[in-house]
Chains A and B, each alone.
Chain A
């Protein structure tokens, strides 16, 4: 008796078995990464929760940094991030506009592209060395917020360039051609059509860099971050540009390695604040990107 038509042959059955096995293994691999991550973050939050409060965020550390809050570190990180992005974003966006809209396909452009890729791959400690040699010593800025922010700016520049290029490339060429055919110059096209359509991608790219800038320790350790500094609690303008500052990442490092008899929850709480701020900013950027992408008309 022949098997009914369209029923699987042994060969097909084996193929399907392998397919299911492959799917299970790959899903397992993904779970093997995601689950420990979730477990770790939960552990951090649970351990740090006893110390988290509004006053933790807005008061100075006391008693050898064992008690009190993390206000100077939080403010310092905010200063460093804002200044670094204010410097890096314009240069990065303009560079990407040049590369995407103006540059021809010649050796110079390839060289710039190579430079961007290499700048992105420089280890953070080498950025620290550069910051020390160029901004602290050569430019005479000394260890200061300005020197640290400039070092961080150079670090985030290549990623801003790359993400802006992607955002610009996503704007269809047809838009540009339509403008040119109407007689607009290159800059007029960019300013009135390309940029407004790419601005959401550009902004999310810049906002995503907040996490990287806030989390880096090595570049600021030798260029402007300090072990302890007391500032006016709750005053958002407490730092000057040529002051040294505390920073969340540096504070986590010093509390973990140098502050004795600190409550066990303290480093966890600092880690949670840093991680929470970073993840919140990133999540906002991703949400923004999804929402704006849904509104795109192409």
Chain B
């Protein structure tokens, strides 16, 4: 053992001291922040739920930070089911949901918190049917969509719809793009298109987010997919949708959603576990005000009133 070992030992000791210092600092910081006294720091609103609404919720949170800087709105996605589950667990102040709350979920929340969950309608979302821009198809009916997507539906190929071979597609098979089975969008599409007592066909590509669907369809000539109106890009084509074969189809837009001529549009809700506390109530009031609804239109959704600026 010589002077070298001493140096090594010193280095080891220095490393150990550094780690200990870091640990101490982190611990002190953690302790210092772990219990914010009520009213002393920012008020936090936990906003959890629908992936469809997450971009909108985020846009609201950002805008509201300028309106009321003492309130911090924290947004996460995860799906409508998760948001409502978070209401049940008490980890969310507001749940975003792109579907109506089920009666059994309502009952569970009432049982747990003692109050009925309050529902706020905050806007509408039109579900568009997207295809690749090379696809010559212009419109489709709900019945055709049922035959394509629902379990037992007979349509598997584009030729069955009378569509000529799509340039760039290497197959006649219809590549169905869908969402994963817990998303509000999936549930809603299943109810409207497959029917309340049916399920989807196996083998659809179940994407994770609304944006993924549009991206994939824009790259895959043989694909068809459904996603929110707010996720359209100029790389995909939206189809006109008719309720029955032979009827004229309607393009989704603010106007056709509000007058209910577009058949696949759904309301977007925010739920609170019972009567909301004042700072949450103020946020909800702002969301429902023209300022908040303007954000709805800007993000590509359908606002509650027609006097809001039209979708770009």
Contact = CB atoms under 8 A, between A and B. Distances in A.
A257 interface: yes
A130 B33 CA distance: 27
Interface string A222-253: 00001111100000010111111000000000
A258 B8 contact: no
Interface residues of A, number: 38
B231 to A, nearest CB: 5
Interface stretch (A45-53, A195-203, A268-276): A195-203
B37 interface: no
B281 interface: no
A21 interface: no
Interface string A64-97: 1100000000000001001100100100000000
Interface string A171-207: 0000000000000000000000101110110010000
B62 A63 contact: yes
A295 B4 CA distance: 9
A87 B26 CA distance: 13
A142 interface: yes
Name the residue among B23, B211, B233 with the largest chain A CB count within 10 angstroms: B211
Interface string B21-51: 0110010011011100000000000000001
Contacts of B9: 196
Contact of B231 (A64, A196, A243, A260): A260
A283 interface: no
A195 B9 CA distance: 9
Given A258-B54, A295-B4, A227 B209 contact: no
A154 to B, nearest CB: 18
A199 B15 contact: yes
A290 interface: no
A83 B22 CA distance: 9
B228 to A, nearest CB: 9
Contacts of A195: 12
A75 B37 CA distance: 24
A165 interface: no
A226 B74 contact: yes
Contact of B29 (A142, A240, A257): A240
Given A199-B12, A240-B33, A241-B33, 11 more contacts: A63-B62, A64-B58, A86-B26, A143-B91, A199-B8, A199-B11, A228-B74, A244-B76, A254-B77, A258-B209, A297-B4
Sorted from nearest, which 8 A-B pairs have the closest CB atoms? A240-B33, A241-B30, A258-B209, A199-B12, A257-B209, A227-B76, A237-B29, A196-B9
Interface of A: 62-65, 79, 82-83, 86, 89, 142-143, 193, 195-197, 199-200, 203, 226-230, 237, 239-244, 254, 257-261, 295, 297
Interface of B: 1, 4-5, 8-9, 11-12, 15, 19, 22-23, 26, 29-30, 32-34, 51, 54-55, 58-59, 61-62, 65, 72, 74-78, 91, 207-212, 214, 230-231, 233, 299
21 contacts: A64-B59, A79-B26, A82-B22, A143-B91, A197-B8, A199-B11, A228-B58, A230-B74, A239-B33, A240-B29, A240-B32, A244-B76, A257-B209, A257-B212, A258-B51, A258-B77, A258-B208, A260-B55, A260-B211, A260-B233, A295-B4
